């Protein structure tokens, strides 16, 4: 009986050992080669062993999320294009209004401008009247003086000893008038009154002219401000539109696909100082390697690298080197299937 039990137990163990899957070892290293030919071994990089079935399910789910994001980005572009078109129309309208106003001067129809214009015309007419009064007084004084001056070509006190024949007509008129108001207090009084009144109306006319200029400048300032505001809004919407289009052109990146994938790893290893790693796993498993690394660049932004590659099946062991040739931007095993021409690097 004991012999039969031993034989039965041995048979069960042999059956168990015969059904147990074999193990496979995968080893490799992680490094990046620069354009100058220098290789950088990447240590302390976490390398994950992922079973393909949950990996593909997670990527399929992420693909659906990304498709929704792409559609959302397209809708934002359409909305921004509408805003840009409206801003362009508003800018062109504001520019046309500004140019038209320079010709038609609509502010001149306003009550304030019309009031200032009426005052300017009134004061200008008064100035003209008093200018004529001054001319009349000037003529009166010159005539009075000429009836008493010395004969022609004789020096006089007012000429400073210079013969009168060398005076211009204006010089003679001024000298003769000066003599008249000096010798005629009544004429001088009327002249001062006329001159002061003329100056008063001139000041009032200038003030009215200043008011009209301020109204015009204020209107033009508002028109220019509206035009400049519309131009700025158009420029901003165009810049935002370009930014959204560029964002869509660069979307999705490998990081958008692979960041924060919630997959339970079948194995995990961390590279040593030489960038080397090793796994042992059941040979019946269909698996892939996933790794993410980051390298600081002197005087530049840090570079980020992703790998997602199949582990070869068959044989007691396999070697997989993670380097420039099989970065995710090459997608050697077609996991991401990005649209043709779309960048998939960060």
Greatest alpha-carbon pair distance for the chain in Å reads: 176
> Which domains are delineated in the chain?
21-70+252-326 (2.60.40.10), 100-249 (no CATH)
Burial 16-29 (b: 16+ CB within 10 A, else e): eeeeeeeebebebb
Cβ atoms of 43 and 271 closer than 8 Å:
yes
Q: Is the pLDDT of residue 255 over 60?
A: yes
314-335: average pLDDT: 87
What is the percent of the chain where pLDDT is above 70? 85
Report the candidate in 326, 325, 264, 335 with the shortest Cα–Cα distance to residue 49.
264
Q: Residue 17: its pLDDT value, please?
A: 43
Q: Report pLDDT for 315.
A: 66
Residue 181 has pLDDT above 70, yes or no: yes
Cβ atoms 99, 290 nearer than 8 A:
no
State the average pLDDT for the chain: 84
- Give me 127's structure tokens: 């100035």
pLDDT at 100 over 80: yes
Reduced to 3 states (helix: H, G, I; strand: E, B; else coil), residue 245 is helix
CB 345 within 8 A of CB 253: yes
Structure tokens at 302: 């840090």
**pLDDT tens profile 281-308:** 888 889 999 999 989 887 778 888 999 9
User: Is the peptide bond between 252 and the residue preceding it cis, with omega within 30 degrees of 0?
Assistant: yes
3-state DSSP call for residue 21? Answer: coil
**Is residue 173 exposed (0-12), middle (13-18) or buried (19+ Cβ within 10 Å)?**
middle
Instruction: Say if residue 1's pLDDT is above 50.
Output: no
Distance CA 285, CA 312 (A): 11
At residue 49, φ and ψ (nearest 5 deg) are -100, 115
Q: Give the C-alpha separation, 171 to 186, whole Å.
A: 23
Give the model's confidence band at 27: pLDDT under 50 very low, under 70 low, under 90 confident, else very high: very high
Q: How far, in Å, CA of 309 to CA of 280, rounded?
A: 17
């Amino acid at each position: 009986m004991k012999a039969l039990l031993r034989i039965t137990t041995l048979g069960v163990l042999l059956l168990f050992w015969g059904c147990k899957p074999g193990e496979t070892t995968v080893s490799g290293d992680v490094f990046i080669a620069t354009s100058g030919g220098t290789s950088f071994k990447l240590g302390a990089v976490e390398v994950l062993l992922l079973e393909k079935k949950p990996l593909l399910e997670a990527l399929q789910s992420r693909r659906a999320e990304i498709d929704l994001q792409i559609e959302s980005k397209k809708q934002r572009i359409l909305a921004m294009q509408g805003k840009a078109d409206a801003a362009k129309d508003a800018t062109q309208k504001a520019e046309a209004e500004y140019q038209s106003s320079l010709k038609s001067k609509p502010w001149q129809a306003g009550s304030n401008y019309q009031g200032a214009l009426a005052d300017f015309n009134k004061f200008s007419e008064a100035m003209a009247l008093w200018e004529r009064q001054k001319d009349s007084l000037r003529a009166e004084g010159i005539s009075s003086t000429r009836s008493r001056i010395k004969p022609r070509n004789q020096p006089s006190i007012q000429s400073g000893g210079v013969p009168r024949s060398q005076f211009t007509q204006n010089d003679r008129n001024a000298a003769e008038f000066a003599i008249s108001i000096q010798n005629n207090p009544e004429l001088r009084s009327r002249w001062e009154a006329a001159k002061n009144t003329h100056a008063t109306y001139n000041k009032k006319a200038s003030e009215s002219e200043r008011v009209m200029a301020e109204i015009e400048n204020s209107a033009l300032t508002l028109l220019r401000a509206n035009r400049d505001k519309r131009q700025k809004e158009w420029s901003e919407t165009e810049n935002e539109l370009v930014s959204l289009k560029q964002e869509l052109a660069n979307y999705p990146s490998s990081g958008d696909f692979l960041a924060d994938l919630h997959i339970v790893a079948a194995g995990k290893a961390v590279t040593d100082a030489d960038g080397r790693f090793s796994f042992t796993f059941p040979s019946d498993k269909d698996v892939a390697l996933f790794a993410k690394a980051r390298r600081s660049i002197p005087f530049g932004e840090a570079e980020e690298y992703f790998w997602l590659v199949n582990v070869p099946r068959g044989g007691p062991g396999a070697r997989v080197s993670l380097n420039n040739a099989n970065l995710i931007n090459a997608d050697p095993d077609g996991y991401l299937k990005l649209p043709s021409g779309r960048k998939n690097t960060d």
